[in-house]
Amino acid sequence: MFPISCPHCNESLSFNNDRSYVCQNNHNFDLSKGGYINLLPVNKKKSKSPGDNDMMVKARRDFLEQGFYDPLMKEIKSVIENELNFSTKELSILDSGCGEGYYSDNALSSLNGLKSTIIGTDISKYAVKHAAKKYKNNFYFVSSIYNLPVKTDSIDLILSVFSPNDSKEFGRILIENGYLIIVSPGENHMKQLAELIYDSFRPHEYNIIEKIELPFSHISTHRKTFKIEINDSGMLQNLLKMTPYYWNTSKQAQTKIENCEAISITCDFNITVFQTV
């Protein structure tokens, strides 16, 4: 089943011809040349180009393509395959705040040999464009996670990696006993990068369990920690552009980063599993 709905009237969207998707009320959405659709209504945009810009998206793509976060990606896949129980053999999965699609394709495809429809959404059209271009087996669309053009009770699993979350909207689109996996920063995430930028490092205190409300109950949390070795200042700058630190980096700190030839950085993640009750 194609779980996408019209952002204006919530009716089902279907493929109209080679070039667009349409609902029964004739709301029409062009399929871009890159193979994605934009389902973010203009009146819901808070800025001209919301979400990550092209520079941030390219930096993240170049960083992830080097495999630095493969241990996280593999851990997410292992949690899904070993811990979650699905009552269906054909899954509908949403990568929420998907960026350029690295996790949708690498962590969510071929789960225990199950068939799946993978959809991904992000508010950044640059991110969605990159995802659709690279991962043609999945379906990507521009939308906000606070107002998802996705059918009620249609999704078996949502993955949200370092992206905003909305319990109510996620709860609406998930089936009963559907799963939500949220990846958030662990306390020492990017410690050494922060120390290059600020005088001292303040451990992250983000508590996702407090933030996710009914209809979810907390099932488990898995911590994944590893170190990455970066021996190239261009790659370190890519990493910086992926973090909120980028916007608070002084000229002095920027120079330190440009001159840094090698650094070992702690990556620290919490993978938290929730289920609808």
**Cα–Cα distance, 4 to 40 (Å, whole number):** 13
**Which range in 18-26, 97-105, 188-196, 199-207 contacts Zn ion by CB under 5 A?**
18-26
Q: Which is nearer to Zn ion, 5 or 163 (CB)?
A: 5
By CB under 5 A, name the one of 3, 4, 5, 6 that touches Zn ion: 6
Amino acid at 115: K
Q: Check binding of 127 to ligand SAM (CB under 6 A).
A: yes
Q: Check binding of 162 to ligand SAM (CB under 6 A).
A: yes
- At its nearest, how many Å lie between Zn ion and the CB of residue 26? 7
By CB under 6 A, name the one of 93, 107, 161, 197 that touches ligand SAM: 161
Q: Check binding of 39 to Zn ion (CB under 5 A).
A: no
Chain residue at closest Cβ approach to Zn ion: 6
**Cα–Cα distance, 154 to 176 (Å, whole number):** 10
**Cα–Cα distance, 244 to 261 (Å, whole number):** 22
Site for ligand SAM in 59-118 (CB under 6 A): 60, 97-99, 102-103
Compute CA distances 180 → 105, 156, 206, whole Å. 17, 9, 17
Q: Which does 133 bind (CB under 5 to 8 A by kind): ligand SAM, Zn ion, none?
A: none
Burial class (CB in 10 A: 0-12, 13-18, 19+), 32: middle
Amino acid at 93: I
**Cα–Cα distance, 262 to 264 (Å, whole number):** 7
**Cα–Cα distance, 54 to 114 (Å, whole number):** 34
Q: Which does 122 bind (CB under 5 to 8 A by kind): ligand SAM, Zn ion, none?
A: ligand SAM
Q: Which is nearer to Zn ion, 144 or 163 (CB)?
A: 144
Q: Which does 275 bind (CB under 5 to 8 A by kind): Zn ion, ligand SAM, none?
A: none
**Cα–Cα distance, 150 to 156 (Å, whole number):** 12
Q: Which is nearer to ligand SAM, 116 or 144 (CB)?
A: 144
Amino acid at 11: E
Please, what is the end-to-end C-alpha distance for the chain in angstroms?
23
Site for ligand SAM in 16-55 (CB under 6 A): 51-52
Could you list the residues that contact ligand SAM (CB under 6 A)?
A: 51-52, 60, 97-99, 102-103, 122-124, 127, 144-146, 161-164
